[in-house]
Amino acid sequence: MQAHLLRFACVLAPAALAVPASAQATLTSLGAVNVRASSMSDAGDAIAGTPTNGSTQYWTSLYPNFTGWGNGSGTPSISNGGTWVSANTPDPLNANKETASRLVTSTGVWTVLPSLGASSGASVSTASDISADGQKIVGLVWFNAGTAHAFEWTSAGLVDLGLQVPGFNYSYSSRANSVSADGATVVGWLSSGSRRAVRWNGGLGSFLGSLDTSNPIYGAGECYGVSRDGTFVCGTSAQKAFLWSAATGMRDLGKLAGAASGFAMSVSADGRTVVGWSGANVFDAQAVIWREGMTQVESLQSYLTANGDPNAASWTLRYAYDVSGDGSRITGWGIDPTGALQPYLVTLPPQVAAYCTAGTTTNGCVPAIAGSGLPSASQTSGFTISVTQVEGQQSGLLFYGVGGQVAFPWGGSSSFFCVKSPTERTPVQNSGGTLAACDGTFSTDWLAYIAATPGALGTPFGAGDLVNAQAWFRDPPSPKTTMLSNALEFVLQP
């Protein structure tokens, strides 16, 4: 262990230098003038949108050119692989009206979804979103000419979600805006004088509250996005973007300075990345991003520039509509350097990602490393590396390096040494918990350690620098008498 953990100080490039290529964000035009991208699959491999004047189009990573399909309209959504698309098509009983439909992209065949037999103006129903497997579609269906209800559709039929909110009857309008990738959770709004944020789980609706301090229970709000398994929900309330989970309640993500409103449109599976827009309308809207550790949403254009994309500054990014489940891809539309309206694809380096294989201890413990907060090069605290499921009452420590990943067997144990040397150790800790149990933990605020340790390995750090970390701890009966966790890789943010 000592040979691998010798302290070795070196100085990396200062923050003013370019962000390393491996840690850069990239902005790419999708080359379809006047197409407004509105949806990305959970896997990030397919995008759907609508031209200014035209029918539904879609793009996939396998066939990276937008393809139009017949007469689909509205705000299309797309499944993983681009296999299914939801949008609106002319109603077969009245071509002057539109109804929610599903497209099989391999055949070009649209299937019209059932309705409740009513319409309002030219609308019978509208599709808002589709699950990752394409087997559930959600949206709005007209209950009568003046009242619309949220719905979900599967091959078993259409379910009126507007009737599934306790205490509210058919006379209240509602709409489903999004469905989780796994199809289990639906989010949107129900109106009782003003729109209120609603989450349907197992078909039963409940209100999420409001950012309105004068009416935190029944204040106005609307849900626009939901994470892969329904844990996280995002939207707008009191003119500000929000992120909700059962653990935290509704978190205020704010809006851009001077903007009329903030809208959170989509959230990654882990709740660490949210995208949307801030402004009053299409003429002043700016695409925004929030990542774990930020106090509020920031301009996506500024974020990309700060994270190494030299082209972002020449765009005007209007809307960020969707983010992939892993938080690495974003789509929306903006104005490119030539002045043309274009859909775009943003690729982000991961902020924090676990890798490598943890060892299994004598008592069957499999330690798991994680990071919480924002690994910011400009902050002196706020990014904590923690390891759980450690043997109780054992000494250990966290160590890190700046050379990347390796995977060397750790003696005769089941562990792997996963951080390229040289490495630096943080102070020794006791795991706490119970002897011979898996309830021990280690925890270190890595930014605080760096701030308090002049000459620490890798200092001074700058945005874009890559760091790898792992935990070492005692396990006396094991072949090497020590064990290693899996490892963590993170990219320092501005």
Name the pTM for this structure. 0.81
Q: What is the predicted pLDDT for the residue at 422?
A: 97
β-sheet bridge partners, residue 290: 274
Opening angle at CA 271, ends 265 and 273, nearest 5 = 60
pLDDT tier at 282 (50, 70, 90 boundaries)?
confident
Mean pLDDT of 50-74: 85
Mean pLDDT of 46-73: 87
Phi and psi, residue 110, nearest 5°: -95, 140
Q: Answer whether residue 373 shows pLDDT above 90.
A: no
Q: Answer whether residue 3 shows pLDDT above 70.
A: no
**What percent of the chain clears pLDDT 70, i.e. is strictly above it?**
95
Instruction: Report the helix count and the strand count for the chain, using DSSP H and E.
Output: 2, 39
Q: Answer whether residue 189 shows pLDDT above 90.
A: yes
pLDDT tier at 232 (50, 70, 90 boundaries)?
very high
Phi and psi, residue 488, nearest 5°: -130, 135
Q: What is the predicted pLDDT for the residue at 167?
A: 85
Q: What is the predicted pLDDT for the residue at 472?
A: 98
Q: Answer whether residue 5 shows pLDDT above 60.
A: no
Q: What is the predicted pLDDT for the residue at 292?
A: 85
Q: What is the predicted pLDDT for the residue at 347?
A: 95
Q: Answer whether residue 22 shows pLDDT above 70.
A: no
Q: Are 250 and 236 in contact (CB under 8 A)?
A: no
The shares of helix, strand and coil residues in the chain, as percent rounded to the nearest 5, are 5, 50, 45
Tokens 């939207």 sit at which residue?
235
Mean pLDDT of 464-477: 94
Mean pLDDT of 162-169: 91
Q: Are 212 and 220 in contact (CB under 8 A)?
A: yes
Q: What is the predicted pLDDT for the residue at 11?
A: 26
Q: What is the predicted pLDDT for the residue at 350?
A: 74
pLDDT tens digits, one per residue of 317-335: 999 999 999 999 999 999 9
Q: Answer whether residue 360 shows pLDDT above 50.
A: yes
Lowest pLDDT segment from 66-70, 105-109, 339-343, 388-392: 66-70
pLDDT tier at 457 (50, 70, 90 boundaries)?
very high
Q: What is the predicted pLDDT for the residue at 312?
A: 95
Q: Which has more confidence, 307 or 190? A: 190
Q: Quote the mean pLDDT of the chain.
A: 92
pLDDT tier at 212 (50, 70, 90 boundaries)?
very high
CA distance 463 to 19: 7
Q: What is the predicted pLDDT for the residue at 9?
A: 26
Enumerate residues 6+ apart whose C-beta is below 8 A from 166.
204, 205, 206
CA distance 129 to 185: 12
**What percent of the chain clears pLDDT 90, i.e. is strictly above it?**
80
Phi and psi, residue 81, nearest 5°: 75, -5
